[in-house]
Structure 1
């Protein structure tokens, strides 16, 4: 297999618990995914990322792993996993899994042995710190202190996330070797690589220095401590050499706020990962004080974010691009003004995202334009981050009604409700009530209806991915350079992909028309999300509200 086999591919993320239920228990499973592989192939998918399916108590929906070598029974068996890998491969689809090695579950054998003997060898698999008080004032990602008392001991253990997710001690070479052995076991089994979760957090400030508080609780976000942490480079270089390089694996890192120097290390010519996600667009509007302190991104914000990240990154390596994922609200509800959310605007957003330079990741349901869900009460939510966000909003003075409205817009549960296959009672996902479901799902958004509608969002996504395989222009979209166009035209997000041919992507991301003077005649219209094309004899193109046009020029 060629070294960079993953370049020019289209990826799809599945949240297994909510994709397809094959055994009628209300929870998605591996056999359910296998049943839908032909659907994914028809969508043009070549890489399939599965959120965690390992054995877990599901405190954080599988990102708390109790056994890295076992499939959780709710998803099926290891034989089901082997079948999925083989059936996907037969359709030209490579499987990648989540690699969660900053932390594990407190139910993992290692941690249980550490608790049984806080001075023994397994205690050194974690950060057990002898202290009379909490060693620092760091706040976990899910709220509250990162420190939890070790029972029957004078020690505290570190958890950057939930207290049921103790951080693994990467200082310990024996622990690192355990991780490498596990990774190689999965690669040998036949998966093609990993999406690497929260990897920046494996480096620590080992002095456990308290920092100035950033909120009234007297704590500071744990990510602030990363600035004083020891170098991460030796850990990741060793990880790559001991595992990924041996199998020519595709790896995509979850990395935030990387410097240009770090970009070189992560995805440069000799980078430790194949790619990293572009989260710059996803975090637009965040102010750092919770979901209730958030500005809605504008078209100009989105354009500036995209253009800046390509200018900074393309000369170094390959980005993986997203509209949404399991940790974000639905893109249609986040990036499109509420009054403008419709089929045209969803297609316009998809055009911007999928034809950028990089590896586009489509999240389940995005291809049919799924929107945010409706939950009546905080008790209806499952996500621990959502519940924490609600409490933060209340503490900052919002009413219960106001706090509920805020988390309703940004909750991760928006993306975790069942995939909508039909308009049936349980959305064609299951024959019984799903594990998580809003009271008022928009049943009109479903695969079955869109399969029969040539103008649907689903058909449009298939047309977008089809451009990647276009005999004449596909290579320019897969590998061509990215050049911004019409930067000065407000609310127009346009760019050219330039390779053997020149393909221009012209989108009008607003609710009023906009006229553009084209610099070259159109050779061919490759895609149009509307049925009209207003082009005069002088090559002036007038784009209707949320119109997206993809053209070839000489």
Structure 2
């Protein structure tokens, strides 16, 4: 595999609205991000991905863009964006923006013109279809619930397509004029000094143009629109064109959001001639999902977590790098999802950190992950802001759950868990804002915050720092970054063990994914102990006694 400049890096996602407010309006902003660059540099971060900061009505928190060339005033100005790019460059850091081009906002000028004249030039910028038998063109359900079709005002039999919210009309990638407009915008940003893009929902850009009905997957008689992608042929042609026209000439770093790829197609996405540099590894995030709805999702087991990691790494072996995550803006907090509530503590949080940063791929942290931020508690559905969670709440009620049980069930998986403000210190609102935060801060900020963990030897934050330092250590980075990942004791219950075999060094990771102690027998000679989330290691005569949720990273011979 050809080595790339970003392989040895560590990336970090910022959700701007919740990262740092600098002006007291309760909303995070660009100035707040600039003020925290030194913190991120000290942590060891190289690449920063910003969730959308474009002009938007925020129906879906900025993933509904009304102007791709403007910064939304709640975040600041274009001058501040230029300053952020310049300040990041001074620190040898790279800024990556969200690229949301499957859809735009219904307040975008293109869509407004399309609604004025659906049969005109701008009508062709979107997917507009006639109804069928007095109903919607087909039975597809949007990702946020309800039909993917919405009526066009003044035209009783005309509908436009939206795979997400009705305020997010899908752009018609079949139209070369639309594609060229998108390419022009992307190049404009790259010429400003942007390092690249995280590419949102990109697999959805190719549609099943027959718009056929599909077998229902719920009692509403509808089918999730994702199923239609099976019939959407030719997405790679568009993605290769996108690469040729924009990313490739600029040497841009690109990372795609793909849930629905087939194993045999992975090389087309991240191989030597692939469309993107990387994609996120969502293998663990998809465990326990239930088609009935979020309320029916299941608790993930350690064995499931292990197999998801190993299988995805085996698929990617020799093809390319995927990005390792335990959470992002669309997922609940990783430590609350992958650990039992009663076992969620600093030891188990460090164990998850060690597994994530030592597996093959690009480590991608999400804000607050480095201090072990957890899910919040939604006492009532009125506390929820997220459009997806509110939709899933209705699904839970329709399934017969009480209001209280429905709120609790969907709250556990709500995207708002990761969107609560960052905990900087123990002051009011966690140091996030001097005003009223746009989303209530998690009450546990008094115990979990940056200031209390900074330079505290045994803190979760310092453990993350040491893991990042290990990845960049000249002595070990070849093994950590490029070493082959080989499972160790794969059949052991509630245990994740693997080697990272480099050209000169072999590292062994041992993670006891349970609260009970266990003994592991080693045949290798331990040359040195590199990482341990406990103060001591119990090792004698080739046997290691691992404490509950203990993780060891060993240099072995």
TM-score (norm 1): 0.98
- Deviation for aligned residue 1:3: 7.6
Q: How does 1:333-482 map to 2 (within 5 A)?
A: 333-438=336-441, 440-482=443-485
CA contact (8 A) 1:374 1:438 kept: no
Structure-1 residue corresponding to 2:304: 301
SS in structure 2 opposite 1:97?
strand
In structure 2, distance between residues paired with 1:13 and 1:328: 13
Shift of 1:87: 0.5
Match of 2:84 in 1: 84
1:50 maps to 50
Bigger shift: 451-460 or 245-254?
A: 451-460
In structure 1, the partner of 2:118 is 118
Deviation at 1:230, TM superposition (A): 2.5
The residue matched to 2:21 in structure 1 has which SS? Answer: coil
Whether contact under 8 Å (1:159, 1:166) holds in the other structure is: yes
Corresponding residue SS for 1:497: strand
| 2:285 is equivalent to residue 275 of structure 1 | no
Residue 310 of structure 1 corresponds to which residue in structure 2?
313
Q: Residues 27-426 of structure 1 correspond to what in structure 2 (within 5 A)?
A: 27-131=27-131, 132-153=134-155, 154-426=157-429
Q: Name the SS of the counterpart of 2:412 in structure 1.
A: helix
Instruction: Name the structure 1 match of 2:523.
Output: 519
Contact 1:374 1:441 in 2 (8 A): no
Following TM superposition, the consecutive aligned residue runs of length 4 or more in structure 1 with deviations greater than 6 angstroms are none
Task: Output the CA distance in 2 between the equivalents of 1:313 and 1:454.
Answer: 35
Q: Distance in 1 between matches of 2:138 and 2:211?
A: 6
- The answer as to whether partners of 2:420 and 2:442 remain within 8 angstroms in 1 is no
Structure 1 Cα separation of the partners of residues 411 and 334 of structure 2: 14
Are the counterparts in 2 of residues 286 and 294 from structure 1 also a CA contact under 8 Å?
A: yes
Distance (whole Å) between structure 2 residues aligned to residue 440 and residue 516 of structure 1:
39
Instruction: Using the TM superposition, name which of 253-262 and 455-464 deviates more.
Output: 253-262
Between the aligned partners of 1:287 and 1:235, the Cα distance in structure 2 is 31
CA RMSD of aligned residues (A): 1.1
Separation in 1 of the partners of 2:291 and 2:135?
27
Q: Distance in 1 between matches of 2:70 and 2:110?
A: 15
> Which secondary structure state, in structure 1, belongs to the residue aligned with residue 509 of structure 2?
strand
State the Cα distance separating 1:207 from its structure 2 match.
Answer: 0.9
Paired residues of 2:8 and 2:477 also in contact (CA < 8 A): no
Cα distance between partner residues in 1 of 2:455 and 2:107 = 47
Q: Which residue among 495, 500, 505 is the counterpart of 2:498?
A: 495
Unaligned runs of 5+ in 1: none
Secondary structure class of the residue paired with 2:98: strand
SS in structure 1 of the partner of residue 443 of structure 2 = coil
Residues 103 and 165 of structure 1 are in contact (CA less than 8 Å); yes or no, is this contact kept in structure 2?
A: yes
**What displacement does 1:98 show?**
0.5
Distance 2:453 2:361 in 1: 27
Return the offset for 1:216. Answer: 1.3
Alpha-carbon separation, structure 1, partners of 2:296 and 2:417: 19
- How much has 1:133 moved relative to structure 2? 2.8
Name the structure 1 match of 2:555: 552
Q: Work out the CA distance in 1 between the residues paired with 2:314 and 2:507.
A: 18
Match of 1:530 in 2: 534
Distance in 2 (CA, whole Å) between partners of 1:350 and 1:113 is 49
Contact 2:217 2:223 in 1 (8 A): yes
Deviations 1:16-49 (A, max 9, x none): 0000001111000001001000100111101100
The offset of 1:486, in angstroms, is 1.4
Preserved contact between residue 127 and residue 168 of structure 1 (Cα < 8 Å): yes
The count of aligned residue pairs is 552
Distance 2:317 2:41 in 1: 28
Q: Which moved more, 1:190-199 or 1:211-220?
A: 211-220
- The secondary structure found in structure 2 opposite 1:357 is coil
| Contact residue 97 and residue 194 of structure 2 kept, 8 A | yes
Q: Which runs of 5+ in 2 are unaligned?
A: none
